[in-house]
Amino acid sequence: MLAVYLGASAYFNNHFYFGSEINCINVSGKTVEEVDKQMASEIKSYKLNLKEREGKSEQIKAEDIKLKYNSDDEFKKLKNKQGSYKWALAFLNTSDSKMKAQVSYDKDLLEQKMNNLSCLDSKKVVEPKNPSFKYTDKGYEVVSEVNGNKINKNSLKDNVVKAIANGETTIDLEALNCYVKPKYTVKSKETTENKNTLNKYVSSKITYTFGDKQETIDGSKINNWLTVNDDFKAEVDEKKVKEYMNELAGTYDTIGKTRSFTASSGSTIKVGGGDYGWYTDASKETQNLIAAIKEGKSIKKEPTYTQTAASHSSNDIGNTYVEVDMGRQHLWYYKNGSLVVQGDVVTGNVSQGHATPEGIYSLKYKERHATLKGQGYASPVDYWMPFNGGIGIHDAPWRPAFGGSIYMGDGSHGCVNSPHYLAQTIYENIEAGTPIVCYY
C-alpha cells in the first residue's frame, strides 16, 4: 500500500489530481504542459452566451475583449499549490480540486462590446410600465403591467465580469434579475387601491343648475380628468377640470355679452359690454368640483359666483334697473317693473372725447355728500352712485339745464349729471348691484 501511495504521489507530482477543474474546465490527470495547451485552446475559443428574453441570445467572445490568462506560469502555480501527497484526500474533499486561474481582458473593449449589444440598443428598448386602468361602462378595469425588455446595464456588466472571471459560458439575464421590472403589478395592493379610488371618483354625479337649465357631470365625463401619477397614485387633473369649468362659464356667464333690451321707447335694441351679469368664480368652483369628485358625492348645486344677476333667463337684467338713453339724454328708473322716476340728464362730453361708454353695468355702491375730483376740478355732490370706474350718476347743482344736446359740447367727464330731485329719488330707492343700462 505504501508503494502504491508513493507511486501515485510521484505521478501526481507532475499531474493534476483526478477531479481537478480550472475555471470549470476538467484537467484531471493532466500535466502542466498539457493543461497549458488545453487552457490556451479553451480561452481562444471562449465565448460567453447571454440568454435574453423571447429566446434571443448574444455572445461576447475572447477575441472581442483580448481575453487571456494573467501569466504564463499560472497553471504551474496552481499545480504547486495542489502538491502531490494529498491526492488521496482529493477524493474526499473536492475543494482543493476546484481551482481558479486569473484572467485579464481589455476593459475598454468590453465596455465597447457591451455598448454594441442589441439588448442595450435604445431603439429596441421597450420600457417597463406599471399596470394601467381602463374606463368602461362598468367602471375601471386593470390593464396588466408591461415587463418590456429594458436592462440594468450596471447589473448586466457586473454579471458579465463575474462570469468571465469564473469561466462561465452562459448567463441567464432573466434569472440574474438584469431586467428592469415595473415597480407595481396587477397583484400589488397599490393597484387595487388605485382601482377602488378611481371607481369612487367616477361614481360621483354633480349637477349644476342655471335657472331652468342644468349641466350634469358623471363618470362619462369625470374619467377624462383622472390620471395615475408618477408615484402611482390616482388623482384628479386640476388643469382639465378648470378647462371644463371655464367652458361652462363661457356658456352660462353673461357679463359683457350682448343682450336684447326693450327700451322705454318700446323698441328692442342690442346692448353689449359693461360688467353686469353672471360671472363664475372658476378657480374656486374648480376646487369645489374636485372635492366633490374625491368624496364620490351626488349633489345638485349652483356654481360659485363672483357676481350674480337678477335671473338666469335670457333677460337677466330683470325688472329693476336704470335706463340711460344717451341719444335722447333721458333717464328712467324702474323698480319691480314700475317706473319710479325719470328725467333729462347730461352725459359725457362728446366733443372732448369723454362720451359715456355704452354697456350694462352694475351699481357699485351709493354715497351721500361725496366730492368728485379730477384734473382741475373738485365738485361736491349730495348723491353719488358709481357704476363704471369713476363714472356714476350724481346731482349737478352747477348745471342750470339738462337734456337736449348739451352733452355734445358741454357734457360731463363721463358721468350722468342729473337734476337734484332725480338723483335723490334714485338714491333713496336703489341698491348696489342694480343694473345700469347705457346706450345711444
Q: Say which DSSP state 121 is in.
A: -
Q: Are residues 290 and 361 in the same domain?
A: no
- Among candidates 288, 287, 54, 50, which has minimal Cα distance to 164? 50
Q: Are residues 432 and 374 in the same domain?
A: yes
In a domain, 159, yes or no: no
Q: Which of 63, 98, 120 is the last residue of a domain?
A: 120
Per the structure block, which three cell numbers stand in for 211? Answer: 335657472
Q: Are residues 195 and 228 in the same domain?
A: yes
Q: Which of 307, 333, 363 is the last residue of a domain?
A: 307
Q: Are residues 342 and 282 in the same domain?
A: no
Q: Are residues 303 and 330 in the same domain?
A: no
Chain segment 184-225, per-residue pLDDT in tens = 999 999 999 999 999 999 999 999 999 999 999 999 999 999
| Total number of domains constituting the chain | 3
Query: Is 99 or 293 the better-scoring residue by pLDDT?
Result: 293
Query: Is 417 or 91 the better-scoring residue by pLDDT?
Result: 417
Question: Is residue 29 predicted with pLDDT exceeding 90?
Answer: no
In a domain, 155, yes or no: no
What is the residue range of 207's domain?
Answer: 190-261+272-307
Question: Is residue 153 predicted with pLDDT exceeding 70?
Answer: yes
pLDDT band at 343 (very low <50, low <70, confident <90, very high): very high
In a domain, 131, yes or no: no
In a domain, 245, yes or no: yes
The per-residue pLDDT for 38 is 83
Q: Are residues 14 and 90 in the same domain?
A: yes
pLDDT band at 384 (very low <50, low <70, confident <90, very high): very high
- Among candidates 17, 16, 101, 21, which has minimal Cα distance to 67? 101
In a domain, 368, yes or no: yes
In a domain, 217, yes or no: yes
Q: Are residues 329 and 276 in the same domain?
A: no
| Mean pLDDT computed over 59-68 | 95
Active site residue 119: no
Q: Which of 84, 101, 120 is the last residue of a domain?
A: 120
In a domain, 37, yes or no: yes
The per-residue pLDDT for 88 is 65
Q: Are residues 240 and 327 in the same domain?
A: no
Average pLDDT of the residues of the chain: 93
Q: Are residues 405 and 432 in the same domain?
A: yes
Question: Is residue 326 predicted with pLDDT exceeding 90?
Answer: yes
The per-residue pLDDT for 249 is 97
Strand partners, 143: 132
The per-residue pLDDT for 375 is 80
Query: Is 268 or 7 the better-scoring residue by pLDDT?
Result: 268
Active site residue 178: no
43-47, 105-109, 342-346: which has the minimum mean pLDDT? Answer: 43-47
Per the structure block, which three cell numbers stand in for 154? Answer: 450596471
| Mean pLDDT computed over 30-46 | 84
Q: How far is CA 392 from CA 8, 26, 323, 348, 403, in A?
A: 123, 106, 13, 11, 17
Per the structure block, which three cell numbers stand in for 359? Answer: 354697456
In a domain, 329, yes or no: yes
Q: What count of Cα atoms within 13 Å lies in the side-chain half-sphere of residue 15?
A: 14
Chain segment 388-411, per-residue pLDDT in tens = 999 999 999 999 999 999 999 999
Q: Are residues 341 and 285 in the same domain?
A: no
Stated pTM of the model = 0.76
Q: Are residues 327 and 294 in the same domain?
A: no
Question: Is residue 76 predicted with pLDDT exceeding 90?
Answer: no
> Which pairs with CB-CB distance under 8 Å and at least 24 residues apart come from 329-333?
329/402, 329/403, 329/404, 329/405, 329/406, 329/407, 330/403, 331/393, 331/416, 331/418, 331/422, 332/264, 333/425, 333/426, 333/429, 333/430
The per-residue pLDDT for 404 is 97
What's the CATH number where 243 sits?
3.10.20.800
Q: Which of 15, 394, 413, 420 is catalytic?
A: 394
What's the CATH number where 368 sits?
2.40.440.10
What percentage of residues in the chain have a pLDDT greater than 90? Answer: 79
Within 10 angstroms of residue 270's Cβ, the number of other Cβ atoms is 9
- 23 contact partners, CB below 8 Å, separation of at least 6: 39, 99, 100, 101, 103, 166, 167
19-33, 133-147, 156-170, 354-368: which has the minimum mean pLDDT? Answer: 19-33
Q: Which of 119, 178, 415, 438 is catalytic?
A: 415
Q: Are residues 302 and 375 in the same domain?
A: no
Pairwise CA distance, residues 348 & 410, whole Å: 8
